[in-house]
Chain A
Amino acid sequence: QVHLVESGGGVVQPGRSLRLSCAASGFTFSSYFMYWVRQAPGKGLEWVAVISNDGSHEYYADSVKGRFTISRDNSKNALFLQMSSLRAEDTAVYYCARDKDIMLTFGGVINYWGQGTLVTVSS
């Protein structure tokens, strides 16, 4: 079955960088659009970024555009989120997620989720 495992979270100082990873298994990774969604402590869900199946297209939330970069390595079934210029408001659990269906365009259903990795931005 679909399995998504995030890693790379931790405590980081404001202004520093961090790279999250997501190991995918149980499906043909290269066929699916992938997402990062985050949730600040006690707050709601916030979509962060999405990447097409071949990595050729990506979109970002306004709050992270220019600071975060989503990427993937289809040969290693891995999704990444490179986060730079981190701020206190980036503190959250970051979820890796997969689209429900094989899509040709954006706008699908975020169907499968990992258990998340906590990023804490604090001095």
Chain B
Amino acid sequence: SYVLTQPPSVSVAPGQTATITCGGNSIGYKSVQWYQQRPGQAPVVVVYDDSDRPSGIPERFSGSNSGNAVTLTISRVEAGDEADYYCQVWDSTSDHYVFGPGTKVTVL
């Protein structure tokens, strides 16, 4: 089955930039979504189709998929960005939706 990898944690000072990576076999050929989950809340999609942002999501959130590297970048980090972030893809080989293990972003 398809497996996604993410760093367990990322720490960043307010106003700085947080970068979260997501790895997987041939992930460059897949469309990647990123979800933010604050404690006690349901997930919210912050980036879909690699780099698109839903309405209402700040421009500070951006995604990229360069073929070898998939990243979520949070610019000008704020205290409210502290949350768990999950990448997710659809694996057409197995007909499975796959989530990464999640990255906890801590704002120092």
Listed in ascending order, the chain A residues whose CB lies under 8 Å from chain B are 35, 37, 44-47, 50, 59, 61-62, 95, 100, 106-111, 113-116
Contact = CB atoms under 8 A, between A and B. Distances in A.
B14 interface: no
B98 A109 contact: no
B86 A111 contact: no
B42 A46 contact: no
B23 interface: no
B49 to A, nearest CB: 7
Given A44-B101, A46-B99, A61-B96, A107 B45 contact: no
Provide the main secondary structure of the chain B interface: strand
Interface of B: 1, 31, 33, 35, 37, 42-45, 48-49, 54, 84, 86, 88, 90, 92, 95-102
Contacts of B102: 44-45
* Of B31, B90, B98, most A-chain CB atoms within 10 Å: B90
A74 B12 CA distance: 46
Contacts of B54: 100, 111
A110 B47 CA distance: 11
A34 B28 CA distance: 26
B49 A109 contact: yes
Given A45-B102, A100-B45, A110 B33 contact: yes
